[in-house]
Amino acid sequence: MRHFDIQKPDLDLTRQMFNELEKDLRSDKIDLGIGIYRDENGEAPVFKAVKKAEELLFKNEISKSYKSPSGNKEYCENILDLVLGKKNINDRNNKIGSIQIPGAGSGLRIAGELIKNKIKNKTISVPNPTWGQQTFMFQKAGLNILKHSYYDAKNNFLDFENMLKDLNHLKSGDAVLLHGCCHNPTGSDLNLEQWSLVANLCKKNGLLPFIDLVYQGLGNGINEDVLGIQKLVSIVPEVILTVSSSKTFGVYRDRCGLFSVITDADRVTSQSLETMLSEIARELYFHPPDHAAAIINILLNSETLKDEWLFELSNMQKRIVSLRQKIGKSFQEKQQSDFFSFLKNQKGMFSLLPISSEGIIELRKNGGIYLMPDGRINIASVRESQIDYITSKICSLKEFQIRKL
């Protein structure tokens, strides 16, 4: 008998796509699938400010002993400050409990455990569509998953009216997943008024918002991108929040993020919330890595490095906005219509292109262009010199030729 005599696994469509991409030997193949920020040279470089902070850490680090399952406290304070701002934190009066985690990916699973163990309904409603890994993590944690309307993928707009209707049908005690900004995969975000309407509905109907924030600074700006979250936190009594530092500080593989629970429950203190969360961390992975958290503290505690980091982040945001305009314009010229103009107004790295599965495979085979199987495109991995080629190939698909007639 062999314990590991397992069959070759069935790969899902995303893994099939990445497998094909790896095996594709064409030197000019274009990867628009993977969710990392790339510069004009196609590189995913380390932020200069992060490298400088890392050098300081390297010089001054005196121990690599364990911290604790709740990770780096100072990092939690620094990131909460960036996301919620001092006023929101003070208004919550010692009722925010936080731990540092190995990235928001882990935050999804922690949220799953928390909702399963503490929330009666064990149910979360996710936007349709949403990033597949979120649903995967909630499923693995054993949650019931519902979907609420979010985006009209045929007509390329945020379907807020149906979103509100669907949220209104949820039961008191259900959780609701909200993307903090730069929705993955659609790039369509709620405006401030819509955040406010969702927050008031959650408050009235006893829904628990869970916010997943990964792209702060890459949508409209470092402060602008969190105004919706701040609005929600000022209205709703209880919120779960996870924040990723992968993209905002470019520390993807070093694994670093924040997980917080905010409440106004009578008996609760930050300490009791933190203990509750660190018990979950202990069960799932024991301790988070400290390296990126320590770097981020050095960076944010130095005015010079913080300014340098903000400048680099703002340049990335500007590049994404400019690529969106240029890609939108190129489509307009090729297609002689405004069909793709939604790309210009959406936010952050991702948009969903309304291309059929056959079209996506055709682009892969004959154009060497790799999109995600759902049509998600990573705008931040497009090089300006490739725009014309990409839009031509897409517009020459049969489905867009027919559209033109």
Ligand X SMILES: Cc1ncc(COP(=O)(O)O)c(C=O)c1O
Footprint on this chain of ligand X (rule: CB under 6 A)? 35, 103-105, 131, 179, 184, 212, 214, 244, 246, 252, 257
Count the alpha carbons within 13 Å of 147 in the hemisphere toward its beta carbon.
Answer: 10
Give min distance, CB of 99 to ligand X, in A. Answer: 14
Q: How far is the CB of 285 from ligand X (least distance, A)?
A: 12
Task: State the catalytic residue, choosing from 131, 174, 195, 393.
Answer: 131
Number of residues assigned to the chain? 405
CB of 59 to ligand X, least distance (A): 27
DSSP assignment of 82-104: HHHHHHHHHHTTT-EEEEEES-H
CB-count burial class (<10 Å; 0-12, 13-18, 19+) for 276: middle
Nearer to ligand X, 110 or 397 (CB): 110
| Shortest distance (Å) from residue 186 CB to ligand X | 11
Which residue, 131 or 151, has its beta carbon nearer to ligand X?
131
Q: Of 156 and 378, which CB lies nearer to ligand X in the complex structure?
A: 378
CB atoms within 10 A of CB 139: 12
Give yes or no: 290 in active site.
Answer: no
Token pair of 239, please? 């919120």
Considering the complex, state which of residue 123 and residue 134 has its C-beta at the smaller distance from ligand X. 134
Q: Which is nearer to ligand X, 229 or 395 (CB)?
A: 229
Both tokens of 224, joined, read 């602008």
Which listed residue (95, 247, 334, 347) is catalytic?
247
CA angle 359, 31, 336 (to 5 degrees): 50
Give how far Cα 238 sits from Cα of 103, 123, 250, 263, Å.
Answer: 22, 16, 30, 4
- Whether 131 sits among the annotated catalytic residues: the reply is yes
| Shortest separation between residue 185's beta carbon and ligand X, angstroms | 8
Helices 104-118, 270-284: crossing angle, 10 deg rounding:
110
| Residues forming the active site | 131, 212, 247
